[in-house]
Amino acid sequence: MDRVHELLMEVGNEARGNFLGLLNVLIGRHIEKADHTPVSTGLTWRQLAAILKKLSWDKDWVRELGFDPSELAVRDRGHFWFAAIKRAEVDSPQAFQAGDRMAAILNKAGYIVSRAPHPHSPLPGAEEDADEDGS
């Protein structure tokens, strides 16, 4: 998870305006550094929410997803991010297109990002997280 933290700290500013793409890539794709050091093999919604919580990621980023931060549950920051990811439709055709744009940004920053899974396949980890949330 430390390498995902590093990635977010390094390219966070470049991801502004493409938060949906960032979520799509972090959840559904393999990422490694140019020297082939593994960064991520794909995160569950819950894992990504925990990382965003730990980094105290600015809640205003959800505005890019079309949400007002006050609309999301605020029990704790982790739950906030989980709710945002769940509502973002990270496996929609738009998310896959945004993910391709984010992959290009990451490639320019020295990361290797795998191709997207088939757009009609659910992203890994989505079902288990949805079940845990009771939805």
pLDDT digits (tens, 9 = 90+) for 85-97: 999 999 999 999 9
The pTM for the full model equals 0.85
pLDDT digits (tens, 9 = 90+) for 116-125: 876 555 555 5
Alpha carbons 135 and 129: distance in angstroms, whole number:
9
**Cα dihedral 24, 29, 54, 57 in deg (nearest 10):** -30
The side-by-side arrangement of strands in the sheet containing 31-33 is 38-40, 31-33, 111-113
Alpha carbons 77 and 83: distance in angstroms, whole number:
10
β-pair type (38-40, 31-33): antiparallel
Higher-scoring residue by pLDDT: 126, 50 = 50
Full 3-state SS string of 55-84: CCCCHHHHHHHCCCHHHCCCCCHHHHHHHH
Percent of residues, the chain, with pLDDT higher than 90:
72
Q: Are 67 and 46 in contact (CB under 8 A)?
A: no
Alpha carbons 123 and 95: distance in angstroms, whole number:
11
Q: Are 48 and 122 in contact (CB under 8 A)?
A: no
SS3 content of the chain, % helix, strand, coil (to 5): 60, 5, 35
Lowest mean pLDDT among 17-21, 35-39, 55-59, 70-74: 70-74
